[in-house]
Structure 1
């Protein structure tokens, strides 16, 4: 065997690893990595590239404008209003989902029978499409006519019909948006809390009972919640990030043949109409997407620092 062939064989053995483990790793992981690069990282990089150009109706622009798209987006009242819509949505959805999912987890964890059944029942909505759930809420439950379930129930008590999605004073549309998101995601976060609860050692509760701790709020406050700190931080971070990415329920609940109303327009809905609407300003929409990504990163890092993630325990 020649020296060149021997070197190639040694290189191949080094790359393939013992018993071809490296080779099989890339056989299984390679397609997913390729898909991640092609369908995620390349579009992200191209979006950043477009944000520095005047890209009207084109994805291959040539007119470089620098940071003009960013300054225009920051001075745009509609974009800043969409960020405030996110703040309102987050103020509703994060604490309600946190409390509901934790309550469900505590209830299921105390069950001695049918625990697996209840866990599956509460988690099942997480597998439902956001589009399908939004249409069910819009067409069946909170339909603005007398055939809707909510108006039918209110009619039993003599209440007037309510146009849930078009009434802005009071803003009943928030009830529809928050309830559909609660139904969809509470079961998923319940599973996270349930996993955290099952990692708590029973000896802690036994020691608390010996010390005279009363079951209920006292045990929950001084034992359960401190032991769930890591899970609670993770759930809060995920809830805030998911609230930033809200699109499907807003768009499918509030849009109609006339378009999208001027109220309750989160950032992704506004950027959708900016980039793919009448003007198709892809440069301005890309700049807004980059700004939104930066806001998400800053908020996430701020939350992590606030909760002390990565800090060494005393």
Structure 2
């Protein structure tokens, strides 16, 4: 027989303190995440310019975006290329650096962790790359290449389309040791050391076997969190492109989905069309997260 459900009054009476504890987060999540997502989906089916009231136009925005907007197709190509390269590489980098740093004594570990994490939170992180790839002879890259005789004249790094995406990928990888990196270090710190001793008794003989059979299965929550953060970060690149390559970039070489969203939302104020772009990006992220979660569930 099915267990009879408790009345809501009894559920509240038995669990009210739990609900009160999660109420602040739930309120913030609903107001600043859930409601904006729902409103964006609704506005994506309208024509809205912030001056006039939204007018329903059905699938017009989606048809124009996916069929007639050639720049958006370039943005999709650039975003997926960027994500396929930086996402996996930065994810592996975060874990490997965290794994190596975790073996250090507490004080050196804390210092090196700060050194690696600092670029991701620095507000002026792009300035050094602007200096390195400055298009004049004062740029470090041009200066050294000219001095060593590899080039005869300065290279216009961000004005030449073929250089834009490789540079952006390098910068993103440099900035990628962020929240995922800290989560992995925290996960490594919480692995029960007695499991390694038990594994040695069972026949585990080297660090790679420990990593595969103990460490990774023990860190599934942190691995999942890191994957979500890396997917979100690699698919939502915009500020790097705008700050380094300009807006718009040369031949749209650095144009991404989020940059396209910025164009229609913050420059043209076509909010209905911008919401359509946001919805497409949201579902791409959602699909990628579902795929990664299924892969990680098979671990261990």
> Which TM-score band (shorter chain)?
0.7 to 0.9
SS at match of 1:110: coil
> Residues of 1 paired with 2:265 and 2:175: CA distance?
28
Indicate yes or no: 2:66 matched with 1:66.
no
Corresponding residue for 2:92? 99
Deviations 1:114-157 (A, max 9, x none): 2222222222223223xx3234322x122122212233343443
Question: Could you list the per-position Cα deviations for residues 263-300 of structure 1 after superposition, in whole angstroms to 9, with x for gaps in the alignment?
Answer: 2211011122123444x432222222122212222222
Alpha-carbon distance between aligned partners in 1 of 2:38 and 2:221, rounded to the nearest angstrom: 33
1:183 correspondence with 2:174: yes
Q: Distance in 2 between matches of 1:183 and 1:221?
A: 27
Measured in 2, the distance between the counterparts of 1:232 and 1:34 equals 27
Alignment equivalent of 1:285, drawn from 274, 277, 285 = 274
- CA gap 1:281/1:228 in 2 versus in 1, 3 angstroms: same
User: Are the equivalent residues in 2 in contact too, given 1:58–1:282 (CA < 8 A)?
Assistant: no
- Residue 263 (structure 2) aligns with: 273
Task: Quickly say closer, same or farther: Cα 1:103–1:146, change in 2 above 3 A.
Answer: farther
The structure whose Rg is larger is 1
When the two chains are superposed, the root-mean-square deviation of aligned CA atoms in Å is 3.5
**Shift in Å, 1:46:** 3.5
1:188-212 CA distances to partner (integer Å, 9 max, x unpaired)? 3222211222222333444555677
1:301-312 alignment, distance < 5 Å = 301-308=290-297
CA spacing shift, 1:153–1:203, aligned 2, 3 Å: farther
TM-score by length of 1: 0.75
Contact 2:61 2:276 in 1 (8 A): yes
Question: Does the Cα contact within 8 Å between 2:136 and 2:142 map onto a contact in 1?
Answer: yes
Contact 1:59 1:282 in 2 (8 A): no
Normalised to the residue count of structure 2, the TM-score between the two structures is: 0.78
Q: Deviations over 1:28-82 (max 9, x none)?
A: 94xx7766665555544443332222224635223x2112212221213322321
Task: Map 1:6-155; keep pairs closer than 5 Å.
Answer: 29=24, 40-56=33-49, 58=51, 60-62=53-55, 64-75=56-67, 76-112=69-105, 114-129=108-123, 132-138=124-130, 140-155=131-146
1:263 aligned partner: 253
Q: 1:77 to 1:151 in 2, by over 3 A?
A: same
Which residue does the alignment assign to 2:10? none
Local SS of the residue matching 1:144 = coil
Partner of 1:254: 245
Query: Matches of 1:224 and 1:41 in 2, distance apart?
Result: 35
> 2:4 maps to what in 1?
none
Which residue of 2 is the match for residue 7 of structure 1?
A: none
Between the aligned partners of 1:307 and 1:44, the Cα distance in structure 2 is 27
| Selected match of 1:295 from 280, 284, 294 | 284
Change (3 A) 1:196 1:44: closer
Aligned to 1:14: none
